[in-house]
Structure 1
């Protein structure tokens, strides 16, 4: 399951989304997360899903890849759906199981939360799939640039966020390798009491932490050996340029917002 994690991965491509300015994509993701909460009925969610599907197919990344990427966190989405259904009361009662009641309001809220999770995950994943770590760092730094007036270390903060995001799939792959190695040595992670299962995780966590610290140390040594000194005297090989695709993305989000406001109850 962990090898299917897609958040933080970058897939090189030639689509217009790959060529879009990272500043536009980061802004679009933040705006879309806010826009999602405007949806409150079937029509608005249909429009949002059509918009996301257009972006997914425009990225030229296989749709099956997105579906497989949802599997590792599907349990969290389903758990949120179940909690909303069983613990939100209101409207007509559809099913009563003793003290637990399934109502129309609970079911509606559960479906809304499920849709919001899917939409936000797809949008944020599109950002990392179509934006290289270097572009992501540059885009974040440009967006956070105004905070330099309050002495915020913008470059270092953007670099940390980018590296952290990029290390997610790397750590997931490392976890999968350690998990298979421990299973080959006879460690059972699925049977026994809860206390025994927790103890069986220790052989997984210790080598994972050691590997993570080792990777961090290697990265620090490599950056230092290449003369990295933060943003001091740093030049850029690729300069960010705003193109028609960036303007199109911003306009499409504006139109999407207007459509949702028009269609919402």
Structure 2
């Protein structure tokens, strides 16, 4: 399942979304995340789902490919749904057996909150799938550039965020390799009681941490031998270019925002 983790991966395709400026994508995603948190009924969520499909079509990405990326976090979605089902009260009582009391409002809220997480994950995943890590780093640095006046290490923060995002699929692949190596030696974390599974995870975590620190050390040495000293005296080989399509795409946030605000009423 871990090999299906697609967050942080980049798929080089030729599409409208791929060609957009990464700064525009980040601003668009940030505003859309705020709008998703404002959704409070089925009409507004339906508008968000339709928008996701439109963006998928413009990015030449398959919905099935994006949906498979949800499998590693399926447990979190189920847990979120069940928490609302059992703890949120209101509406018609559906199940009342001892300490178990399930009401209609709990199911509705569980579906809505889980759907909210799915929409946010889809948007952020589409951004990483259509934007290279280098472009993301440049976009973060450009957006945070005004904070340099406040002595904020903008370049270093952008670099750390980009490296963290880039190492997500790397660590997932390494975890998959360690799991297969452990299973070939007779260890299976998917079988046995909960206590046995927890014990089986410990031999998995130790080599994973060792591998992570080794990758971090190799990266630090590689940057040091190449004379990396932050953004002091650095020039950029790739420069971000803002085009007409970026402006038009950003302007679409106005009708989208008005639509969501209208539907949530």
TM band (smaller chain): over 0.9
Aligned-residue offset at 1:4: 0.2
Aligned-residue offset at 1:107: 1.5
After the TM superposition, which of the residue ranges 167-176 and 227-236 deviates more from structure 2? 227-236
Q: Counterpart of 1:183?
A: 183
Q: Counterpart of 1:62?
A: 62
Deviations 1:53-90 (A, max 9, x none): 11112111222210110111011111101111111011
Q: Distance in 1 between matches of 2:110 and 2:195?
A: 32
Q: Distance in 1 between matches of 2:100 and 2:28?
A: 40
Q: Counterpart of 2:164?
A: 164
* TM-score (normalised: structure 2): 0.96
Q: Distance in 2 between matches of 1:201 and 1:264?
A: 44
* TM-score (normalised: structure 1): 0.96
Q: Counterpart of 1:206?
A: 206
Determine helix, strand or coil for the equivalent of 1:262.
helix
Q: Counterpart of 1:15?
A: 15
Q: 1:12 to 1:113 in 2, by over 3 A?
A: same
Determine helix, strand or coil for the equivalent of 1:16.
coil
After the TM superposition, which of the residue ranges 182-191 and 45-54 deviates more from structure 2? 182-191
Q: Counterpart of 2:103?
A: 103
Deviations 1:176-202 (A, max 9, x none): 010001000011213334333222212
Q: Counterpart of 2:253?
A: 253
For 1:233-252, list aligned pairs within 5 A.
233-252=233-252
Q: Distance in 2 between matches of 1:97 and 1:242?
A: 60
Determine helix, strand or coil for the equivalent of 1:19.
coil
Q: 1:192 to 1:72 in 2, by over 3 A?
A: same
Aligned CA RMSD, in angstroms, stands at 1.3
After the TM superposition, which of the residue ranges 116-125 and 62-71 deviates more from structure 2? 62-71
After the TM superposition, which of the residue ranges 98-107 and 138-147 deviates more from structure 2? 98-107
Q: Distance in 1 between matches of 2:117 and 2:194?
A: 29
After the TM superposition, which of the residue ranges 56-65 and 43-52 deviates more from structure 2? 56-65
Q: Counterpart of 1:221?
A: 221
Deviations 1:94-128 (A, max 9, x none): 22222222212112111110110110000010111
Q: Distance in 1 between matches of 2:43 and 2:80?
A: 23
Runs of 4+ in structure 1 off by over 4 angstroms are: none
| Residues 1:117 and 2:113 aligned together | no
Q: Distance in 2 between matches of 1:79 and 1:194?
A: 17
**Runs of 5+ consecutive residues of structure 1 not aligned to the other structure:** none
Q: Distance in 1 between matches of 2:194 and 2:48?
A: 41
